[in-house]
Amino acid sequence: MPNETYTFVVVGLGHISDNWLPSFQDQSKMFGDERRVDIIAFVDPDKSTWSKPEKYGFGDRPCYQRLEDVWKDDEADATLILTPPQYHLRYIWESVYECTNILTEKPFVTNNNQLKQVRGLFDLIKEQELLCVVNQQYRWAERITAIRKAIDDGEIGDLGFVVSYFNEPDYHFNRWWRQLHEDISAFNWFVHHYDTMRYILHNRKPVEVYGKLIRLPYSKIVGESTAFLNVTFEDDIEWVYTGSQEGRGYKTPGQSMFTIHGSKGMIENPRDGPPILHDINGEEHILGPDLGDAHAPYPDYWHVTLKKFVESLDAGEPVDEDLTTFEDNQWTIVIPLCARESSRFGHKINVESFLESL
């Protein structure tokens, strides 16, 4: 008996849809000869985008300006939300109240009030047995999974602290939503690093966040584009993070440079080349000969998230503890939110107290 084919409504036909639609067009990397996902409709208020589905073989699917109009004509198993981040919550609400599963681009919220509203939906999501997932595809990059495996295998012993550095010159200089959205550096780019670090640390939750956010006077970016963070995770693991999109010259990998220090050695994610394990005897061990381009800005792993999402729909629950459900991803998004609070009020933020205050 063939497996079920799940139907999706795709909301948002901007540039990020060009990374998702190929996985619906050619599903062989995910499901071999089977077609497990299909698109029944597209939603975008900008009619000039409505020609894009034809490029990927979906030219006969209807396009709408409003999601609510789709529900009047049809129903779907899931909503794929690809709009600019400030609009994600709007479509999350509409989908939950239509009892529809959700796969959304990151970040699923961008401010304290939105997080409060999403947390208010958690009980309803459980009651309706919905699968609600945030795409954090940096988790699936070969170099990141290799580092995680080395840590899980005890190669560097008990974890102690992490030091990260990210610098990307000349970014967001076009006049589009990314540049115009407040705090876009923190919620579009730095959030990749926050989530990747949580994944590497086996999804540990942040406990305290101290942050300083800076916007240079000449910046072309709306909001603070440089972050200095100190994050304490569970088990007293400390993380020092410096990230900026205002630098010049020296460009770090999209996944940032970092060193992870343990009781038996350390792991380095360098600017160039594969990650390196340095043991306590001073010897170096390469973590795999070919682990992807360290400078690749967008790891091509949208299809991995989509496959895990489908497998979880089959199982009726997340099949992978690393699949970032809404409840899990709140522990990623609280890092930039608490950093903003810390920077504005000048003191360390306790994460549990922050969540209780929402």
Do 128 and 252 lie in one domain? The reply is no
Reported pTM: 0.95
Q: For the purposes of burial, counting CB atoms within 10 Å of the CB of 321, is it exposed (0-12), middle (13-18) or buried (19 or more)?
A: exposed
Do 133 and 23 lie in one domain? The reply is yes
Examine residue 201 and state whether it is found in any structural domain, yes or no. yes
Examine residue 314 and state whether it is found in any structural domain, yes or no. yes
Q: Retrieve residue 269's tokens.
A: 């994610």
Examine residue 321 and state whether it is found in any structural domain, yes or no. yes
Do 122 and 149 lie in one domain? The reply is no
> What is the tally of structural domains in the chain?
2
Q: Which residue's structure tokens are 């970040």?
A: 107
Q: Domain range spanning residue 221?
A: 141-296+333-352
Neighbours of 28 (CB within 10 A): 10
Do 254 and 338 lie in one domain? The reply is yes
Average pLDDT per consecutive 10 residues, the chain (358 residues; last block may be shorter): 86 95 97 96 97 98 98 96 93 96 95 96 96 95 93 97 88 56 79 96 97 87 88 98 82 89 96 91 87 67 96 95 96 97 97 97
The whole-number pLDDT of residue 220 equals: 75
Do 292 and 145 lie in one domain? The reply is yes
Nearest of 212, 358, 200 to residue 268 by alpha carbon: 200
Do 73 and 151 lie in one domain? The reply is no
Examine residue 1 and state whether it is found in any structural domain, yes or no. no
Positive or negative: CA dihedral 11, 13, 17, 21: positive
Q: For the purposes of burial, counting CB atoms within 10 Å of the CB of 276, is it exposed (0-12), middle (13-18) or buried (19 or more)?
A: middle
Examine residue 202 and state whether it is found in any structural domain, yes or no. yes
Question: Which positions ≥6 away from 353 have C-beta within 8 Å?
Answer: none
Identify the three-state secondary structure at position 147: helix
Q: Which residues of 150-189 are buried (b: 16+ CB within 10 A; e: fewer)?
A: bbeeebbeebebbebbbbbeebbeeeebbeebebbbbbbb
Do 88 and 166 lie in one domain? The reply is no
Do 348 and 207 lie in one domain? The reply is yes
Element housing 125 (H / E): helix 112-127
Examine residue 358 and state whether it is found in any structural domain, yes or no. no
Do 262 and 232 lie in one domain? The reply is yes
The whole-number pLDDT of residue 182 equals: 67
The whole-number pLDDT of residue 108 equals: 93
Q: Retrieve residue 12's tokens.
A: 């948002």
Do 34 and 132 lie in one domain? The reply is yes
Report the side by side order of strands in the sheet with 159-167.
284-286, 276-279, 265-269, 257-262, 159-167, 237-244, 226-233, 206-214, 349-350
> DSSP character for 25?
H
Which CATH number does the domain housing residue 247 bear? 3.30.360.10
pLDDT in tens, 60-71: 999 999 999 999
Cα(104)–Cα(92) distance, rounded to whole angstroms?
A: 8
Which CATH number does the domain housing residue 72 bear? 3.40.50.720
Do 155 and 288 lie in one domain? The reply is yes
Cα(249)–Cα(266) distance, rounded to whole angstroms?
A: 28
Do 73 and 115 lie in one domain? The reply is yes
Examine residue 29 and state whether it is found in any structural domain, yes or no. yes
Examine residue 105 and state whether it is found in any structural domain, yes or no. yes
* Contact status, residue 25 vs residue 57, Cβ threshold 8 Å: yes
> DSSP character for 65?
S
The DSSP-derived string for 185-218 is IIIIIIHHHHHHHHHHTTTPPEEEEEEEEE--TT
pLDDT in tens, 195-223: 999 999 999 999 999 999 998 888 777 78
The whole-number pLDDT of residue 1 equals: 46
